[in-house]
Every structure is written in C-alpha cells, then in structure tokens.
Amino acid sequence: MSGGGKGGGQTTQVEIPSWIQGPASRNLQRAEQLAQVGYMPYYGPSVAALTPMQTQAMQSTADAAATFGLAPQMDVMAGMPQAQDFGGIQGYGTGQMFEQAIADLAANQPAQAAMFNRQFAGPQMGATGLLGQGGPMGGYSPFGMSGALPPQLSGGSR
Amino acid sequence: MAAPAPGGAAGQPAQAPAGQNVFQQAQMGQTGAMMGTAAGMGYQPAQVQAGQIAQTDLTPYFNPFEQTVVQQSLGDIEQARQMQANQLASQAQRAGAFGGSRSAILESQANEAAMQQAARTASNLRLGGFQQAQQMAGQDLGRQMQASLANQQAGLAGAGQRLAAAGQLGGLAQQAFGMGRGLQQDLMQQGNIQQMLNQQIFDRAREQFQGYTSFPERSLGYLASALGAAPVPQTQTTTRDLGLMDYLTAGAQIGPALVGMFSDRRLKSDIKKVGKLPSGQGVYSWTWNAKANDIGLSGESMGVMADETDPSMVSIADNGYQMVDYGALLA
C-alpha cells in the first residue's frame, strides 16, 4: 500500500531469503512427481488362516454334534477359501479381489475408470501419468486396462 | 431285568470299540444310562403269596412206614389178646368151666378190650402221623415263603444296583462329555493364540509395506517440517511517505526540543530512508551511534539529515556537530 499527501502511506514488502527458495521449490516438484505414482496395491497376506488346532477343534465340535444327532456329519472347512502359503504361514491376501474390483469398475464405468487411471503411473511400469506428462489426456492405465496405454508402454504387463 | 448295554450283552458292561472318541463314548454311555434307567423304572418285583395247609397235599409228608407200624402194633395187640384168651381158656379148663358161660363172658371182655386197645392204638398212630405231616408241610410252606421273600429282596436289590449302575454310567458319560468339551476349548484357545500370532506377523509385514509405500510422502513431510520449523528470516522493507499530519504529529511530540536537534550524519548509523517531505527532502530512520551516545543521544530516531537541509536552517553546535531547526523546517 502506498500513499502520500496529507494522510501519507506506506508499502510493506516481505522477501523470503534465497537460500530457502530452492529447497521449497524442489519439494513442490517432488510432491508433484510423487502424486503421479498412484495407489500402491498390497498383494501380501492380510488375514491369517485357521490353524490346524482351530480346525481340529471345530471338526471335533461338528463331530460331537453329529454323534448326538444335532447335525449331519460334515467337513467344517467345506466352503472356506483355500489358504495360501506366505513364507510358511497360511493366510489370505486380498490382491486378487482388489484386481477383480478394479476390473469390474473398468467394465461398468469405463470412462470414469480410464480418466482416473490416466492420472497416475502404472504400479510396475515406472512411468509417469498425466501430471508428469503435462500433456493431454493421453495417459495409460495403471491397472492393466487395454486401450489406454500409450504406445511406448503398451508392451508392459502386470 | 437288566437292560442290555449298548454294544454288549445284558448284564455286561459296554465295551467302547477301539478308535471311538470321547464324545462317541459319552453318547454310548448316555444311551446306556437312559435305557438302564428306563428298565429300572419298569421293574416289577416278584409276587409272594403265602401257602395254605388246606390247599396242600399232605401225602408226601406222611410216614411211608406208618401202615406197617400200625399193622405191627395191631398185630402185637392181637397176639396179646390171643395170649390172654389162651390163658383164660386154660384157667377155665382147670376149673372145669371151659365152654361155660362165665368163660365166654371173660373171653368176650378180653376181646372187647383188645379191640378197643387196637382202635386207640391205630387211631393214635394215624393221628400222630397226620399231625407230623401237617407240621412238616407247615414248615415247608414257611421255608418256601422265606425263600420267596429272599428272592424278592434279591430282585429288588439287583434292580437297585442296576439303577445305580445306570446312574453311574450316565455320570461317566457326562464326565466324558465335559472332558471332551474342555479339550475342545483348549484346542480352540491354543489355536486362537497361534492364529493371533500369525495375524500379528501379517500385520507387521503390511505395516512395513505401508511404510515403504508411504515413505516418499513422509520424506516430503520431513522437508516441509524442516522448512516450517526453521526460523526463516524475512526481510520486511517498509517505505513510508510522510504526510502533513505526520509532521504535525512529530512536531507536537518533539515540540521545542526539536529546535536545534542534532541531525549530523556522523552521529547516526543504520540509516534508512523511510519517506520524504513534500519538498522532496528525504526523511530517515537511524540509530544513534557511539559518538551520539557520548553526547547523550541513544536509541533510534527519525528525521532529516543536516547535510540535505537548507543551510539557513542548519547550525553548528559547540561540540561541532550540525543541528537542524525543525521548527523552521516544518513551518
């Protein structure tokens, strides 16, 4: 603000020191790059499976019920998902369900899913998405949706 | 009546087939106990009826030699009668009265006595035999009654034992069931501990992965925090254009003291231009330096420079420093 005359006036200017401008600017650039990475799916184990002791106890309970005529003879693990081995520990992961959900989203809402996916890099492609390209909506799908990959990345696979 | 135990013959304990678990044994025991209890509830004790002499055939109780004894006794009486008759006949012959009426009367009396004795003897013998037979039959009936009562008591005792055994079997079945349940719960509890441990391993692994994926964001945070926490020196430059009111205010504040105020540049440091007078002369802020301190001036102040002021408004003090007549300057 400036002024003069009878009332006068003053102008205030705040200057950030030059030594801090560089790191701040680089931090912003790095944040922009990281924002393009996108969601990192987790394909590891999430839920521990029932242990043999638990299944044995459950089977014993079912057998006892059958012995006393309260239920038919049954396999307590029937209908339960097959556990996977994760380094010697039995458990379940949700990676496949996640991929299935993404695929279902792409199938049901293709335009929305494609636009979303173009914003970010593919998790295994190491490339940048729309933000990094700084160009038009010519990105690619990070989750394997065909037709959205740019030519240079079309050979990638998940 | 003994209830047949499951898997075994009546009266024999049930044998648990090899390989049966405790629940199957409990179920067998419970079934056996229920069957045994039901059988015990329907138990009918043996009926005992008292025998009667009147309806008892006493023939087996008579002495098979009774008739012989009677005949022997009657024979003895007959022999005695004949001996007496012979004696009477002999006496009558000696008296010459054999065949007489007196002899006949005596013989007749002897025969009658013998017949009466024979009748009494036979009667007594047969009465004794009957009474003995009746007594023996009565004793047998008593023993039969005693045996029947003993059998009835034995049956009741056996039924009681079987009921108690059924109850014990039921108790054992319940105990086996409870033991099985306890072991099941132990198994489940230990299994839960194992699963919880596995889950914790999975959770830690996932935390590590999340730490990996979120590390770039955190690294940005480190830098942002460092920038935010550092005392960033900011240079604030304020340029002030003084107006008439400013001067009037300044004049009112300093009053007569400003007349002849030291405005020599040599007494000032950290001089900054903060504005200008309507005439274009610069107005500055400064800090009084050591030389100024020597003559009693200290701190910060604001004003004009003597060397930029009209010389007619500048004077030289005794100490040699220039002074400005602010009264004339602001007039």
Complex ipTM value: 0.71
Between B91 and B17, the higher pLDDT residue: B91
3 state SS of B296: coil
Yes or no, beta carbons of A89 and B201 under 8 Å apart = yes
- The label of the residue with tokens 């914790």 reads B200
In this prediction the pTM is: 0.55
Q: Residue B223: list chain A partners with CB under 8 A.
A: 23, 27
| Spatial distance between the Cα atoms of B23 and B30, rounded to a whole number of angstroms | 10
In terms of average pLDDT, the best of A34-43, A103-112, B91-100 is A103-112
Please choose, from the candidates B188, B37, B202, the residue with its C-alpha nearest in 3D space to the C-alpha of residue A52. B188
Least confident of A99-103, A128-132, B81-85: A128-132
What pLDDT is stored for residue A125 in this prediction? 43
| Spatial distance between the Cα atoms of B164 and B170, rounded to a whole number of angstroms | 10
What pLDDT is stored for residue A8 in this prediction? 57
Between A158 and B50, the higher pLDDT residue: B50
String of b and e for B159-194 (b: at least 16 CB within 10 Å)? beebbebbeebbebbeebbeebbeebeebbeebeeb
| Spatial distance between the Cα atoms of B247 and B326, rounded to a whole number of angstroms | 10
Residues B165 and B36: beta-carbon distance below 8 Å: yes
Q: Is the pLDDT of residue B11 over 50?
A: no
Cα dihedral value B112, B117, B119, B121, nearest 10: -170
| Spatial distance between the Cα atoms of A138 and A149, rounded to a whole number of angstroms | 8
Between A126 and A10, the higher pLDDT residue: A10
The identity of residue B66, as a single letter, is E
Q: Mean pLDDT for chain B?
A: 84
What pLDDT is stored for residue A122 in this prediction? 60
Q: Is the pLDDT of residue A118 over 90?
A: no
Nearest CA distance, B281 vs chain A (angstrom): 14
When pLDDT is cut at 50, 70 and 90, the band that residue B276 belongs to is: confident
Mean pLDDT of A42-53: 96
Structure tokens at B264: 């020599």
Interface test with B, best of A58, A59, A67 (most B CBs within 10 A): A67
Q: Is the pLDDT of residue A126 over 70?
A: no
What pLDDT is stored for residue A142 in this prediction? 40
The identity of residue B207, as a single letter, is E
Per the DSSP assignment, residues forming a β-bridge with A47 are A92
Residues B89 and B83: beta-carbon distance below 8 Å: no
pLDDT digits (tens, 9 = 90+) for B19-50: 789 999 999 999 999 999 999 999 999 999 99
**Is A28 in CB contact (< 8 Å) with chain B?**
no
| Spatial distance between the Cα atoms of A139 and A80, rounded to a whole number of angstroms | 40
- The label of the residue with tokens 């012995």 reads A67
Q: Is the pLDDT of residue A127 over 60?
A: no
What pLDDT is stored for residue B250 in this prediction? 56
When pLDDT is cut at 50, 70 and 90, the band that residue A46 belongs to is: very high
Cβ contacts from A onto B, under 8 A: 138
Q: Is the pLDDT of residue B261 over 60?
A: yes
